[in-house]
Amino acid sequence: MNLYIKLTLAGNDTGPFNIYSDVDNFNGAFEGNISKSDLLFGFATNNAPNGTEIIRVRSINKLCSNFVDTRI
């Protein structure tokens, strides 16, 4: 499944990021170690599992592990 993901805002201590799908209850990242600059610029992927309705973008920085869920 093809997706284009773009963050509009990211805090100072965020990133890099892993991206998850609701298909497996956000258990396995379908993209990993994506830089903040890539997501702020816009990131294209064709790795999202078929049937994905919600993606989770989670910071994997030890200073910030917040995430945001977005319906696609």
Read off the tokens for 5: 């993901």
- pLDDT tens by residue, 7-50: 998 989 999 999 999 999 999 999 999 999 999 999 999 999 99
Prediction pTM value: 0.94
**The one-letter amino acid at 30:** F
**What distance, in Å, lies between the first and last C-alpha atoms of the chain?**
11
- pLDDT tens by residue, 38-63: 999 999 999 999 999 999 999 999 99
For the chain, give every domain's residue range: 3-71
Read off the tokens for 53: 């309705």
Please report the pLDDT score of residue 70 as a whole number: 95
Report the C-alpha dihedral over residues 42, 15, 9, 30, rounded to 10 degrees.
50
61 burial level (CB within 10 Å; 0-12, 13-18, 19+): middle
Please report the pLDDT score of residue 41 as a whole number: 97
Taking 90 as the threshold, does the pLDDT of residue 65 lie above it?
Answer: no
